[in-house]
Structure 1
Amino acid sequence: MKIGFIGLGNVGGKLAGSLARNGLEVAVHDLDAALVGKFVARGAKAGGSPAQMMQDCDAVITCLPSPAASDAVVTEMLPHVQPGKIWMEMSTTDVEEVKRLGALVAERGGAPVDCPVSGGCHRADTGNISIYAGCERETFDRILPVLTTMGRRILHVGEIGNASLLKVMTNYLANINLLSLCEALTVMKACGMDLGMTYEAIAMSSGNSFVHETESQLILSGSRDVSFTMDLVMKDIGLFQTLADRHNVPLELSPLMIEMMKDGQRRYGERAQSDRMIERLEEATGLSVTAPGFPQELVDDEPEEPGYEVAVRRAAAE
């Protein structure tokens, strides 16, 4: 299968890197020609343009920063979609938008997939990230070898749009967890607790989480560079709030988190690293929420392994 990959940013570049590293035939495209050049040096092909890639490739993957960017790329590719072609949307996007674009692809005989990832840039870099895939089962079976090259755990979630729903939800949970960890660590510092000990106490407790095991380390080291910026957080939590509004669910935590993140952007810049939210509390208290021995960047220390489809728990047949 010839794969096209459009969008070589923090996440996309790492996902495309897994494809190239494992010997798949990959063509790449990005508005930054230097990023394309780096991939060509690694054996990939320069895709030329989205239109050209849809003509030349069996499947084209998009991993882009906004729904508007995806719309522009898909619009360019559409005239060249035909039966057998696959469009795979790996961006975090609005569910209604991915359904709309997917319908346009399907009208021309193509197969649309929304397949966002979850697990952090460090796991995207090693092919150990998790991937949700919303599409027809037949299409899922076709692309599973591609997905298992980019990710470790692959979950088929039914129709297109379901993956985007789940991804927005998980990003909401991750970001609210980040804010709660900022408060927890600051309170423990104010109480005089050793923060290295505090980290381990959380890690071995019912309060542990993926966010703690990753982002708390970058907070405590002083790095505050998780390769995920506040504007992306605002996009994700805004998408989640939009879902709630569409379905008339009266949320309380979500609007508060949006206001907190807006304040972080006012203080540190729209594209500041999201972990810098800890600095709001450091400024308010005069405390330094840091500890020795924590890394400046996250590295996935798990060996790269072939991915696999995750089985969904079902009630036993009667």
Structure 2
Amino acid sequence: MSRKQIAIYGLGNMGYLVAERLARQFSLLVSDLDAAQTQRATRELDAIMIAQPQDVAQAEAVVLCLPSPSASRAVLEQIAPYLSPNHVVIETSTVNPADVQACERMLAASGARIIDASILAGVSQMQAGTATLLLGGDAAAIEACRPALDAIAAKQIHFGPVGAGAAAKVINNAVAHAVMIVVAEAGSMATASGVSCEKLIGLLSDPQMGLHRPLTHRYAERVVQGNYEGGMPLEAARKDSTLALQLAHSLGVPLFAIQGSHTVYEIAAAAGYGRDDYAAIAKLWADWGRPAVPD
């Protein structure tokens, strides 16, 4: 019995690894602007090159693993007329929710469905089979392409409607990139003040210390529950932040993320939250009409 077919557009560093995992269970139709990558897939994965847009009609699902939202839209503009209500497009590219929702509108006439399955992993994690898919979309559409999703990554988290998985990845990456700057600043301060970087890493990675507690205690237990009584007063956190700025200045270490963060404590203190637990900075977003958590 012939194997079911999956079409995949995009055979870059991540896309080719996705294709490798899919090829273990499916026959592949492949397309990439780099002809060498397409030829490699036909040779190594026994894939069939997509010669014309209508070729995708025979596939069970279409996987997009492309470098930009515009690339995804360009592909869908070509293939949408050949898709049917039986098709599900799996958007694994890193995009914003509005991009996936725009693609959903493009597919409306065909009846094809789209889900976002953002890949939370680096190349090494995909190779090792430890990647996570952050899913957004209708549960029925997700179940319809479950075999393909399971082939890509066993660990999956469904965040909500179309675009929610994409949003979760962008937010995760934003946190990671912002924390990278904070950690670089902290490391520079440590080096300049003679603090062992190895011991600093041990300190910050302790579950009760700097990197963990803001998430696992102050956000999860205070912000989410709206509990700002007791704890470390915001005024005390503001004082500690001031000390950090003074230390950096005395060491000649430029600060960007930590300096910017201090501004929030100043605003929160001026708003009258000085005696609340310092997690009360989250109330500023509610004051600005964008609550930190749903009501």
The alignment's TM-score, normalised by the length of structure 1, stands at 0.60
Q: Distance in 1 between the 2:144 and 2:66 partners?
A: 23
CA deviation profile, 1:247-305 (whole Å, cap 9, x unmatched): xxxxxxxxxxxxxxxxxxxxxxxxxxxxxxxxxxxxx87xxxxxxxxxxxxxxxxxxxx
- Is the 1:86–1:110 Cα contact (8 Å) retained in structure 2? yes
State how many pairs are aligned: 211
| In the alignment, structure 1 residue 181 sits paired with structure 2 residue 195 | no
Aligned pairs for 1:230-249 (under 5 A) are none
Q: Structure 2 vs 1, CA of residues 64 and 190 (structure 1 numbering), >3 Å: closer, same or farther?
A: same
1:3 is displaced (CA, Å) by 0.9
Name the structure 2 match of 1:252: none
CA deviation profile, 1:200-256 (whole Å, cap 9, x unmatched): 4433343457xxxxxxxxxxxxxxxxxxxxxxxxxxxxxxxxxxxxxxxxxxxxxxx
SS of the aligned residue for 1:157 comes to: strand
Name the structure 2 match of 1:71: 73
SS of the aligned residue for 1:125 comes to: helix
Letter matched to residue 86 of structure 1: V
TM-align CA RMSD: 2.3
Flag the structure with more relative contact order, 1 or 2, with Cα contacts below 8 A and sequence separation at least 6: 1
- Is the 2:89–2:114 Cα contact (8 Å) retained in structure 1? yes
SS of the aligned residue for 1:11 comes to: helix
Q: Distance in 1 between the 2:52 and 2:168 partners?
A: 27
Aligned pairs for 1:157-168 (under 5 A) are 157-168=159-170
Which of 32, 56, 59 is equivalent to 1:57?
59
Aligned pairs for 1:1-318 (under 5 A) are 1-20=4-23, 22-49=24-51, 51-205=53-207, 206-208=209-211
1:34 is displaced (CA, Å) by 1.5
Name the structure 1 match of 2:266: none
Letter matched to residue 29 of structure 1: S
- Is the 2:135–2:159 Cα contact (8 Å) retained in structure 1? yes
SS of the aligned residue for 1:60 comes to: strand
**How many percent of aligned residue pairs carry the same amino acid?**
25
Q: Distance in 1 between the 2:116 and 2:206 partners?
A: 35
Name the structure 2 match of 1:250: none
1:116 is displaced (CA, Å) by 0.9
Q: Distance in 2 between the 1:34 and 1:195 partners?
A: 44
Unaligned segments of structure 1, at least 5 residues = 210-283, 286-318
Q: Structure 2 vs 1, CA of residues 112 and 123 (structure 1 numbering), >3 Å: closer, same or farther?
A: same
SS of the aligned residue for 1:65 comes to: coil
Bigger CA drift: 131-140 or 11-20?
A: 11-20
CA deviation profile, 1:76-133 (whole Å, cap 9, x unmatched): 1111011201111111113222112112213212111111111322212222111122
- Is the 2:90–2:117 Cα contact (8 Å) retained in structure 1? yes
Q: Structure 2 vs 1, CA of residues 43 and 199 (structure 1 numbering), >3 Å: closer, same or farther?
A: same
Name the structure 1 match of 2:281: none
1:139 is displaced (CA, Å) by 1.4
- Is the 2:76–2:106 Cα contact (8 Å) retained in structure 1? no
Q: Structure 2 vs 1, CA of residues 24 and 192 (structure 1 numbering), >3 Å: closer, same or farther?
A: farther
SS of the aligned residue for 2:154 comes to: strand
- Is the 2:7–2:63 Cα contact (8 Å) retained in structure 1? yes
Letter matched to residue 6 of structure 1: Y
Letter matched to residue 161 of structure 1: G
Q: Structure 2 vs 1, CA of residues 87 and 114 (structure 1 numbering), >3 Å: closer, same or farther?
A: same
CA deviation profile, 1:36-70 (whole Å, cap 9, x unmatched): 22222222313324714422311011111111111
Unaligned segments of structure 2, at least 5 residues = 213-251, 254-295
Q: Structure 2 vs 1, CA of residues 96 and 81 (structure 1 numbering), >3 Å: closer, same or farther?
A: same
Q: Structure 2 vs 1, CA of residues 19 and 172 (structure 1 numbering), >3 Å: closer, same or farther?
A: same
Q: Structure 2 vs 1, CA of residues 196 and 136 (structure 1 numbering), >3 Å: closer, same or farther?
A: same
Q: Distance in 1 between the 2:54 and 2:198 partners?
A: 52
- Is the 2:119–2:134 Cα contact (8 Å) retained in structure 1? yes
Letter matched to residue 176 of structure 1: A
- Is the 1:3–1:61 Cα contact (8 Å) retained in structure 2? yes
Letter matched to residue 7 of structure 1: G
